[in-house]
Amino acid sequence: MIIRIATRKSPLALWQANNIYDLISAVDRSLKVFLVPVSTKADQDLTLPIKELGGKGAFSKGVQNVVLSGQADIAVHSAKDLQAKTPDGLRIGAFPVRGEITDCLVGSTMKDLPNGATVATGSRRREILLLEQRPDLKIVGLRGGIDTRLKKLDEVDAIVMATVALKRLGKDLPVVQELDPEMFIPQVGQGALAVEARSDDYQILDILAAVDHRPTGLAVSTERKFLAELGGDCDMPAGAHAFRHGNDLRVRGFLGDAAGAMHRGEQIGAWRADPGRKLAASLKQAALGYTL
């Protein structure tokens, strides 16, 4: 049986696809697995902010379309890049074991940044969290692959990146400070991979079930419900992290409002009780004054 994996062409995306390649191959050594590299609009245009390229889904839609058209059998994504609603015709078949969920400051520690230092990030979530701790900072934009982002250190005092990206690509840098995820709340799905297949391709979905990690799936799906409650592609800065708490899930999250105020909270409950949605609803009410 042949399985074709659709993936973006960046070094990190290829690492992710090869990781899934290895996991699937270990399920059945007779499987023949191939990569189908895809260039998305967001990969081709590094000048525009992600928001102007379609926000959530800017990196994933092109890869999803290759699977929907039958040119590939599965799509591999960073879970944080996925839209809150899975497109019709597709289904998430696996969330493998999650990697590091933290953000990190590269080039300086927070305490060593001078007053008025310039920090680069392409994320509104990271921007508002940085300014919450250090209102004196000047924030500038950041786009491109990992190496392109690291070169930005020639122009700025520090950059913010996902810790997992540096570790997966084996980047050994002189100054890297992991930021406390309790305060610097991660993006929904950060550190996790999501593998999609066509929703009627039961043979492929059965194979993906063998590489699924249930605790990761429960946590990430809870975070995705948080995002869905906010509106899926919510323009306001937000983040959420779900993790096991006894027999329940504990979800920490935040939502920034239009005035720049930060609203934080947490919710504990069974997965079926939708703690992610409940937390998002309460934060939305605090930020907007009403429920959408």
Residues annotated as catalytic are: 81
Let me know: does 76 contact 7? Beta carbons within 8 Å: yes
Residue 205's CB is within 10 A of a number of other CB atoms, namely: 20
Is 142:103 a contact under the CB 8 Å cutoff? Answer: no
Measured between alpha carbons, how far is 97 from 211 in angstroms, rounded to an integer? 9
Strand order in the sheet with 2-8: 32-38, 2-8, 74-78, 193-198, 90-94
Instruction: Give me the count of residues in the chain.
Output: 292
Q: Quick check: helix, strand or coil at residue 164? A: helix
Nearest 5°: CA angle at 190, between 147 and 228?
130
- Report the candidate in 100, 96, 80 with the shortest Cα–Cα distance to residue 163: 100
Confirm if 286 and 233 have CB atoms less than 8 A apart: no
Task: Please tell me whether residue 216 adopts helix, strand or coil conformation.
Answer: helix
Separation in Å, CA 87 to CA 126, 188, 197, 231, 233: 27, 18, 11, 15, 14
